[in-house]
């Protein structure tokens, strides 16, 4: 089992719809969760992070965390073509130091006109 799993997609949604991106993780002791967006040929950029169970909203983005189910998701409301990218889920491990993250392989999102 991979430490962080994401559906590779592509996930296609029409413009203006809600895109839902999901991520599961295996380390039950994981405490910090991050979503990065990566455009083709570019480096990852941080969108959101969440530490506590429940929802966290930032503009059109909402991160949801359910530690009991070991599940974290990212909702993008009113999806725009500019949201088309690969979304990486990252989890901070408990073991080891230095703020290491484990990344999923990413979900490709396509927002269609």
What gap in Å lies between CA 96 and CA 4, rounded to an integer? 17
Q: Are 5 and 104 in contact (CB under 8 A)?
A: yes
Per CB under 8 A, 52 contacts another protein? no
With CB under 8 A as the contact rule, the residue among 40, 54, 98, 113 that binds another protein is 98
Residue 53 CB contacts under 8 Å (≥ 6 apart), including other chains: 65, 66, 67, 68
Per CB under 8 A, 99 contacts another protein? yes
Residue (45 or 78) nearer to another protein, CB: 45
What gap in Å lies between CA 6 and CA 23, rounded to an integer? 5
Residue (9 or 17) nearer to another protein, CB: 9
List interacting residues with another protein (CB under 8 A): 8, 31-32, 34, 42-46, 49, 51, 88, 90, 92, 96-101, 103-106
């Amino acid at each position: 089992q991979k430490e962080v799993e994401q559906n590779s997609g592509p996930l296609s949604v029409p413009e203006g719809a809600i895109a839902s991106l999901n991520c599961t993780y295996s380390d039950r002791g994981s405490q910090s969760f991050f979503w990065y967006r990566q455009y083709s040929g570019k480096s990852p950029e941080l969108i959101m992070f969440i530490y506590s169970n429940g929802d966290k909203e930032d503009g059109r983005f909402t991160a949801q965390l359910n530690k009991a189910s070991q599940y974290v998701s990212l909702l993008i409301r009113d999806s725009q073509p500019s949201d088309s990218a690969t979304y990486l889920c990252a989890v901070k491990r408990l073991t080891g130091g230095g703020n290491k993250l484990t990344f999923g392989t990413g979900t490709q999102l396509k927002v269609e006109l």
